[in-house]
Structure 1
């Protein structure tokens, strides 16, 4: 969810870049080296990191920028800035766009930088193109189910059940117990746990299900339909309604924070928000399809920090110093406390809030996380992911069946190839 909506994971268009690009922000501020930094979250969250870096590097001044709505539209804005020759010196590089960034010579090769020794193999792998690493990913994310302990207790539950059918049964009991909103997903995060199911089934195969689709060995219709049918049980059982097609991320989060919603897809980034709301809550597993299935959840290494390949001299040294600081113990502590991100490096073991212990142990410690886009062709990944949510919105409205949704995804994929 985070970077999928947040999470997430959220998605913009594929990159269409020009080859000749000039680095922006080459001036200085008060005799200091000015380093421009473009990120996919708000300045108030990044300011503690910037302040600490500037204190440790008094000869450098960070000029921060982001998009309106932070995550929303970041990839599109990144494309626009690159096409207009206004790429920042340091920027967040979404994995969906990395191959295009490298192809257009706007991401510096970081493979042999000393600070990359701190980065784990999983995070490096997601930032690798043709054997070289082009961004520094220092955190990882995983979805989980946030649940209101007091509301679950009304139906006799104290945690999230292990299987999907048991979870549906719990939601029915919650509704019977007078909980008006047992479960909600946002419109840009529908089918929240489907990726976990696909991740587990992929773990038993030599090639992931989405890689099979991307390579043309399978189709969405053949591989995804059964998962979408399972997800649609939420509507068949009457425990989630079509109103979700109009609910934004913040609306779902607000319902949970207000104590009216029993369960929602969430992640570590929401810990502070829910604590500040004074809720009796925790984060739990995302139910699997069958008893005995190894728990998997949507997740991945977070987007990494990249350096504009067009800069040099003092700017380049300042950019390298900035990445070195971000990946230091001090920088990682700030990323965790301010942005709600979970460090995943060799040099630092994070203290995890007790409310998130179960999903951290189930998913992040084991590496049992899965992101479908990483198996798709690099061109059009963002558009295709957005299409999955669009198709599930139609399923939620009852205007198409799960089988029609997957057939439409195959049609969309053909237009992107």
Structure 2
């Protein structure tokens, strides 16, 4: 009889991906009256309740909001509007557009603004340049390892081990029972790899990514050991099967929900589906780099920013003030399924996920990679190198060197 592990891979690879065409949308800044143009990274379901409440609290301001359709489309449309002198009054900075927009003077300096009160500087760091703040994130995300408690119990475990050796031992026991140990989306940067990278940086006391961006270090110096640990703990151990290299997020989730995979990398965005499927689940951080402490993936969500050329500064500032109010935060984080990073509101977080926020995210034990240059090309290169390691065609040492070569090409 075919094992559950093989069924997970075969079923997932056989799934049909549905591609939904998405149209770009945008509107130009209005020059008259008290209208406010907002171009949102967040979708209509998330922002409509917020806008309605804002307009009710500010009846003299009419919000004209339009929405992006995914990271790439959002960023390209925003750049086009800014280049055409039709920048929205308020827009969002994210990991792939923030460096360019902060560097080219498109974003207003909001350093010292009263509406930033309650947001710890930890979450403002990504939206700060040369000591000046340009974006206001109000929520944060994290991802860790979600696990099926019943499947782990079958092999004698109550939770996911916090070190790589014991994690590899768990993976072997699961494999021996025909259960796929661990899966993750193979079409994006590996969350388990980046969790290990953050854990490695914690052991060195330095954010190696920032050293690379500043020209003070290299990927060979900073990433090789994390690549090696990932290769040993996840790949050579068989925890992350080679056959799963190309799986997408939905395929991975379905394997877990079907009881074919015991663990996978995800965050709060999948909790509703996991609950609906009746899975007895828990969350844990990623296993730690040897000699360090566990980390999760995470960071501040895309920040709200004001155009440097806005003609409606007062209205824009009122909008950001509302976003960081108790009412705005509750509406936004509830609709988006994220956690507030502002002391002005405490989000209601899933009880299984809450320990990861309390013990890791809110204590700064999280990491994610946001390249300051050539983000699209660099992300694609990381994916190519991790797939090479997973497939046995690339060594950790060569993978890091290849990232250095790509980094040089995008300068």
For normalisation by structure 2, the TM-score amounts to 0.84
130-139 or 84-93, which deviates more: 84-93
Aligned pairs for 1:10-409 (under 5 A) are 24-26=28-30, 33-68=34-69, 70-71=70-71, 73-179=73-179, 181-205=180-204, 207-233=206-232, 234-290=234-290, 293-312=292-311, 315-373=312-370, 378-409=372-403
RMSD (Å) for aligned C-alpha atoms:
2.5
Partner of 2:409: 415
Contact 1:137 1:301 in 2 (8 A): yes
CA distance in 2, matches of 1:110, 1:190: 32
**Does the 8 Å contact 2:295/2:365 carry over to 1?**
yes
CA 1:116/1:281 → structure 2, altered by over 3 Å: closer, same or farther? same
Partner Cα separation in structure 2 for residue 318 and residue 388 of structure 1: 41
Conserved 8 A contact 2:224-2:396? yes
Contact 2:188 2:383 in 1 (8 A): yes
Q: Note if contact 1:232-1:395 (Cα within 8 Å) is conserved in structure 2.
A: yes
* Unmatched 5+ stretches in structure 1: 1-22
Name 2:19's counterpart in structure 1: none
Structure-1 separation of matches of 2:45 and 2:257: 21
Do the aligned residues in 1 keep the contact of 2:200 with 2:289 (CA within 8 Å)? no
Contact 1:142 1:363 in 2 (8 A): no
Contact 2:160–2:284 (Cα < 8 Å) also in 1: yes
**By how many angstroms is 1:160 displaced?**
0.9
Q: How much does 1:78 deviate?
A: 3.0
**Relative to structure 1, is the Cα distance of residues 325 and 222 closer, same or farther in structure 2, using a 3 angstrom cutoff?**
same
What is the Cα deviation at residue 400 of structure 1? 2.2
Structure 2, unpaired ranges of 5+:
1-26
Quote the Cα distance in structure 1 between the aligned partners of 2:92 and 2:153: 42
Q: Which whole-Å CA distance do the structure 2 matches of 1:106 and 1:116 have between them?
A: 20
CA distance in 1, matches of 2:87, 2:259: 42
Q: Deviations over 1:314-372 (max 9, x none)?
A: x3332222111111111111222111111111322333321113212321231112234
Distance 1:176 1:324 in 2: 55
Aligned partners of 1:304, 1:354: CA distance in 2, in Å? 26
Cα 1:347–1:243 shift into 2, 3 Å: same
Higher mean C-alpha displacement, 94-103 vs 301-310? 94-103
Q: C-alpha separation between the residues in 1 aligned to 2:264 and 2:391?
A: 19
Is the deviation greater in 116-125 or in 213-222?
213-222
After superposing on structure 2, the runs of 4+ consecutive aligned residues of structure 1 that deviate more than 6 Å are none
* Structure 1 residue matching 2:191: 3-state secondary structure: coil
Q: How many residue pairs are counted as aligned between the two chains?
A: 384
Shift of 1:168: 2.0
TM-aligned CA distance change 1:190 to 1:310, over 3 Å: closer
